[in-house]
Amino acid sequence: MESAPAAGTTFRIRLPAGTINESAAAKQVAGEQGTQCEVNGSVLVIDDDPGAQGLRMAHLIKAGYLVTVAPVGEAGLDLARRLRPDFITLDVIMPRIDGWSVLAALKADPAHSSVPVTVVSMVGD
């Protein structure tokens, strides 16, 4: 984390590289202009805000990650169980089942308890 008064704060996370699992079958994905690039891992984005989904997807895909998006918590839990992603980003404020409940369910499941989860959420402006 880097922070400076009046300049803002930057958080950096390290995502697993080169550990793509079986469910993410493709070892390569099409890059810009038809070139091929190596997949660094798989990330599940659980967020109900299309703008936040797109922003995270753009950055993660550019960094070489295979990205799947779940627009609600229930779909996120289902996709986590089926896809077994290497990393999960999770919004807290979502309809029906909130992010804290999704996080609790993921961490209670031995198959997912070791998957890194970053909580990403915004309130208001």
pTM of the predicted model as reported, rounded to 2 decimal places: 0.69
Comparing 2-16, 30-44, 52-66, the range with the smallest average pLDDT is 30-44
Question: Two tokens at 21?
Answer: 């699992």
Give the pLDDT confidence of 58-83 residue by residue, as tens digits: 889 888 899 999 999 999 999 999 99
The whole-angstrom separation of Cα 79 and Cα 85 is: 9
In the three-class reduction of DSSP (H, G, I as helix; E, B as strand; rest coil), residue 57 is classed as: helix
In the three-class reduction of DSSP (H, G, I as helix; E, B as strand; rest coil), residue 2 is classed as: strand
**Contact, 40 vs 20, CB < 8 A?**
yes
What size, in residues, is the chain?
125
Q: Which CATH number fits domain 20-119: 3.40.50.720, 3.40.50.2300, 3.30.70.260, 3.40.225.10?
A: 3.40.50.2300
**Maximum distance among all Cα pairs of the chain, rounded to whole angstroms:** 45
Question: Two tokens at 106?
Answer: 């993921």
Q: How far is C-alpha 64 from the geometric centre of its chain's CA atoms?
A: 13
Cross-strand bridge partners of residue 36? 30
Give the pLDDT confidence of 29-39 residue by residue, as tens digits: 444 444 445 67
The residues, ordered by sequence, that sit 6+ positions from 115 with a Cβ below 8 Å of its Cβ are: 80, 84, 85, 86, 87, 88, 106
Backbone angles phi, psi at 104, to 5 degrees: -60, -40
